[in-house]
Amino acid sequence: MEKTIVIIIAVLAIAIGIAVALLVLPKPYTPPPCPAKDNSFFVVYLDIPPNEEAFKQVADAISYVIAVNSSNTINITFSVCSIKYSELEKELQTLLKNYTTFPIMGVHTSKDLSKVAVAQQLFDFYGNYYVVKEGFAWRISAILPYYGYTIFKEGGIVAEIAKAPKVFINETPVIGSLNSKYYLVIYEDAHCPACARFYAESLPVIERLVENNTFAIVLKNFIVHEEVLPMHRNITAMYLVTRNATAVFEVMKSIYRLMNLGIPPPADYVASLVRNVTGYSYFNVTREVIDKVIEEDFEEGLSYRVTGTPGLLIWSRERNKGVVIVGHISAENLLSIARRYLS
């Protein structure tokens, strides 16, 4: 009996000793998760995983620029990580809540970048978080495809959007119902060959889906060829006076039919199209009002990281989110993207 009691006491002593040791011994180090890990380049997305290989190039470029700009006093090798916005810590979600175009890019580092001039130009500062400013995010969205990198694993998409496009019926031509499931917003330029191809090859399929309120087509100005400004002014004035979205659509179709033949139409030809469609030769609306609409369309496109034409925003009214595609895309691929990411 005494021997049994001794054994029990010994076992208890060993168990207590182990427990105390576990409390005293340091726990294995667990590095913080993305994006709080020191010296990380983080990419925050909504639903579509980004192409981390592409952003490794961006991280390396930013590392190099910081080193050069700080006379090599700050050398950082960034590790790249990506994370869904919904999976961020609440504090960081709150910090980024006013950002509506994704991916959001930034770095987290314990090194003080506040005195590095280039960092002040590149980032908005939030403690140890340095978030890439929207103007530079737009440039990154333009540069990566130029060098052959897709921004998302799903090729062709350049941005996810969490802010609805402005659709003011007194300023914006809309073909279809405002209650449609999707809006297809087209940021276009009258001398854009890719726009002409999109109108000819892909848009007829979307037009058929306008009839059952699956899509509404929204037309916006995004001028990249300086010579088309008078044409866009004329077409915009036509809509502001007549509110005839179908007339605008027919004029753009006529313009693009010529573009597909390799003939960029001149301004007087577009003016004649407008007269033929509406019967008007003059619209009583000021240049200031017209240019305000054109400029707001352009600025909205830039904010959505439209870098060229056609800029295509597929917006889901049900999901309150959208994706942006730049350049021609087949109707099949456009509808596939809408089904996979916006349904």
- Taking the C-alpha atoms of residue 341 and residue 339, their distance in angstroms, rounded to an integer, is 6
Give the architecture-level CATH label for domain 174-342.
3-Layer(aba) Sandwich (3.40)
Q: SS3 for the chain, per residue?
A: CHHHHHHHHHHHHHHHHHHHHHHHCCCCCCCCCCCCCCCEEEEEECCCCECHHHHHHHHHHHHHHHHHHCCCCCCCCCEEEEEEHHHCCHHHHHHCCCCCEECEEEEECCCCCCCCHHHHHHEEEECCEEEECHHHHHHHHHHHHHCCCCCECCCCEEEEECCCCCCCCCCCCEECCCCCCEEEEEEECCCCHHHHHHHHHCHHHHHHHHCCCCEEEEEEECCCCHHHHHHHHHHHHHHHHHCCHHHHHHHHHHHHHHHCCCCCCCHHHHHHHHHHHHCCCCCCCCHHHHHHHHHHHHHHHHHCCCCCCCEEEEEECCCCEEEEEECCCCHHHHHHHHHHHHC
- Residue 90: C-alpha distances to residues 3, 32, 94, 97, 135 (Å): 58, 15, 6, 10, 26
Tell me the whole-structure pTM to 2 decimals. Answer: 0.88
At 210, the amino acid letter reads V
Q: Per-residue pLDDT for the chain (343 aa), expressed as one digit of tens each?
A: 454 444 444 433 444 444 444 445 455 545 578 999 999 999 999 999 999 999 999 999 999 999 999 999 999 999 999 999 999 999 999 999 999 999 999 999 999 998 899 999 999 999 999 999 999 999 999 999 989 999 998 778 999 999 999 999 999 999 999 999 999 999 999 999 999 999 999 999 999 999 999 999 999 999 999 999 999 999 999 999 999 999 999 999 999 999 999 999 999 999 999 999 998 888 999 999 999 999 999 999 999 999 999 999 999 999 999 999 999 999 999 999 999 999 9
Token couple for 235: 């077409």
Question: Residue 327: how many CB atoms within 10 A of its CB?
Answer: 18
Q: Which residues contact 21 (CB under 8 A, 6 or more apart)?
A: none
Domain chopping of the chain, boundaries: 40-154, 174-342
> Which strands make up the sheet holding 129-132, listed edge to edge?
79-84, 40-45, 104-108, 129-132, 123-126
